[in-house]
């Protein structure tokens, strides 16, 4: 039997999905919080499944027998890649299991910001109604707009497909470019990063967080954007310099933002961005839909089975390929 350890503890219903989908020849157990039992589990396990938050720094020295670390999340920032590389342990993310969820959430934020949905909801709950004067509307359509996708990975590609029916122009930037045939199927055109920011009406972030993307949205890059532009971030909070974004939104140097992620999480309730009327916010809720859990577990087990058969795993993070 191959032993899988999992961390951290998750909700019982989500854990039940993992137990139900567990393939034959594997056992699944929760990584203990007891130091002694934890060490025994780490040293005897074949695979680690779960999330980055389930791994403590002291765990790495006991992982030498692991054949795979498989995250159920797309993000892997915070994992000690240098140690994993030295130990020869592959780290894989979830292979796009939450790509539908994140893409849909990004579109929801685009629409909610453009149509000022929170303001309209609040207006009605306060017993008020819209202005009776025609022409005072400040809501906008996204049809006909140019949407710039920063990061054309699993999520970026699913997003492009979901936006196909909205009659928008799609441009993207990514260090890894699709083949001409795939770009044609996705109906996306490449732009250099600064050119994308200048051209897009809506900029949506779907890049991973690393040293090359840290604070990629900052005063310099915000100043390239149109005054009526919208910024959407469903990737990582660290991609955006929040102080610079706050000033730009406050001074109306860009029109609005829809944010699902923040530099500090859980977010500080006193975050200045929360005081602005031109932001729509959610608490890092884009990825974990109920439907995504079955796909997360299935992809993780598929990779564990591949490695158990002596095959190379899928979805190894770029730094360890």
Catalytic residues: 236, 265, 284
Nearest partner of 115 among 233, 234, 202, judged by Cα: 202
From CA 213, how far away is CA 8, in angstroms rounded?
27
Nearest partner of 254 among 215, 174, 197, judged by Cα: 197
From CA 37, how far away is CA 34, in angstroms rounded?
5
- Extended beta strands in the chain, E state: 2-7, 26-30, 47-50, 68-71, 91-92, 146-150, 169-173, 188-190, 202-205, 230-233, 256-259, 279-281
The verdict on whether omega for the bond into residue 76 sits within 30 degrees of 0, i.e. cis, is: no
Cβ neighbour number for residue 11 with a 10 Å cutoff: 10
Backbone angles phi, psi at 250, to 5 degrees: -65, -40
| Sign of the torsion angle spanned by Cα atoms 129, 134, 140, 143 | positive
DSSP reduced 3-state for 30: strand
Region of 67 (left: φ > 0; alpha: ψ -120 to 50; beta: rest) is: alpha
Contact criterion met (CB below 8 Å) for 168 and 191: no
**Which two three-digit tokens encode residue 257?**
């933002």
Contact criterion met (CB below 8 Å) for 236 and 286: no
Contact criterion met (CB below 8 Å) for 257 and 231: yes
From CA 69, how far away is CA 92, in angstroms rounded?
6
DSSP reduced 3-state for 68: strand
Backbone angles phi, psi at 2, to 5 degrees: -95, 135
């Amino acid at each position: 039997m191959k032993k899988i350890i999992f961390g951290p503890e998750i909700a019982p219903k989500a854990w039940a999905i993992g137990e139900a989908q567990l393939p034959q020849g594997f056992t699944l157990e929760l990584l203990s919080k007891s130091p002694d039992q934890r060490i025994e589990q780490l040293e005897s396990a074949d695979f680690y499944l779960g999330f980055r938050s389930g791994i403590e720094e002291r765990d790495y020295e006991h992982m030498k027998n692991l054949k795979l670390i498989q995250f159920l999340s797309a993000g892997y920032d915070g994992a000690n890649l240098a140690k994993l590389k030295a130990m020869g342990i592959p780290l894989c993310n979830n292979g796009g299991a939450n790509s539908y969820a994140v893409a849909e959430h990004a579109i929801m934020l685009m629409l909610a910001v453009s149509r000022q949905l929170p303001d309209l909801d609040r207006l009605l709950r306060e017993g008020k109604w819209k202005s009776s004067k025609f022409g005072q509307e400040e809501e906008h359509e996204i049809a006909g707009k140019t949407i710039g996708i920063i990061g054309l990975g699993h999520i970026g590609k699913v997003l492009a497909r979901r936006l196909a029916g909205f009659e928008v122009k799609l441009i993207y930037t990514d260090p890894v470019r699709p083949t001409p045939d795939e770009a044609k199927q996705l109906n996306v055109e490449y732009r250099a990063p600064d050119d994308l920011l200048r051209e897009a009406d809506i900029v949506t972030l779907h890049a991973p967080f690393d040293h090359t993307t840290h604070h990629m949205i900052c005063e310099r890059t915000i100043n390239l954007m149109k005054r009526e532009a919208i910024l959407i971030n469903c990737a990582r909070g660290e991609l955006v310099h929040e102080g610079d974004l706050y000033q730009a939104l406050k001074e109306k140097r860009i029109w609005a933002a829809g944010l699902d992620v923040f530099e500090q999480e859980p977010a500080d309730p006193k975050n200045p961005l929360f005081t602005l009327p031109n932001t729509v916010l959610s608490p890092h809720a884009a990825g974990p839909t109920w439907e995504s859990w079955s796909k997360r577990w299935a992809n993780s087990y598929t990779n564990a089975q591949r490695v158990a058969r002596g095959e190379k795993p899928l979805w190894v993070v770029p730094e360890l390929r």
